[in-house]
Amino acid sequence: MESERIEVQRTIRADPGAIFDILCDPHGHVAIDSSGMLMSASGEPVAAAGDSFVVHMDREALNDYPMGLYDVTVTITAFEPDREIAWTILGKIRPQIGHVYGYRLEPADDGTLVTSYYDWSNIDPTWKDANIFPVISEGALRATLGILARTATTASPD
């Protein structure tokens, strides 16, 4: 059986707190997105599981599912300061999909080992049967880590 989860890792030359701050900020999500779908965001930085913010999306960047411009609500499902943040997406599609994105941060000698993950193992059966996952590729997750590295390194006083 094929895996229903992608994980990629990269060591980033920044402390976990600087990286976590970017991941808690709705505008940080837009800034590091490699897919081209995230256009802008509304809301305050998150501080706990259950917090949420809105992301204004453009699915045309993927050219796979004609949705045009739309909004999603990012709802935080895991929150451990400077260690892990994860979220699910609530949007206009019904039934809700149920996939999860997240990051784990581990201190390393030369910065922070960042693991980005994308998990669709618990998606609604309607979407499992549609056979459209993964929506985001391993390459896109790796590219986002590269942008996160550039962003965190620029934001960190080093």
Q: What is the CATH number of the domain that holds 148?
A: 3.30.530.20
> Closest by alpha carbon to 65, among 28, 93, 84?
93
For residue 1, give the amino acid letter. M
**Is 54 within 8 Å of 41 (Cβ atoms)?**
yes
Q: pLDDT averaged over the chain? A: 90
pLDDT confidence bin for 63, thresholds 50/70/90: low
> What average pLDDT score do residues 134-155 get?
91
Q: How many domains does the chain have?
A: 1
**The pLDDT of residue 1:** 41
The span from the CA of 25 to the CA of 5, in Å, is 24
CA distances from 9 to 44, 115, 151 (A): 27, 4, 16
**The pLDDT of residue 65:** 67
**The pLDDT of residue 129:** 84
Q: What is the pLDDT of residues 7-38, one digit of tens each?
A: 999 999 999 999 999 999 999 999 999 988 89
**The pLDDT of residue 148:** 98
Contact residues for 144 (Cβ-Cβ < 8 A; gap 6+): 32, 33, 34, 35, 116
Buried b (16+ CB within 10 A) or exposed e, 57-79: bbbeeeeeeeeeeeebebebeeb
pLDDT confidence bin for 128, thresholds 50/70/90: confident
The span from the CA of 74 to the CA of 70, in Å, is 13
Residue 42 pLDDT more than 80? Answer: yes
- Taking CB atoms within 8 Å and a gap of at least 24, the contacts of 56-61 are 57/91, 61/35, 61/36, 61/37
**The pLDDT of residue 155:** 66
Q: What is the pLDDT of residues 80-99, one digit of tens each?
A: 999 999 999 987 777 778 89
pTM recorded for the entire structure: 0.90
**Is 136 within 8 Å of 145 (Cβ atoms)?**
no
Domain that holds residue 113: 5-155
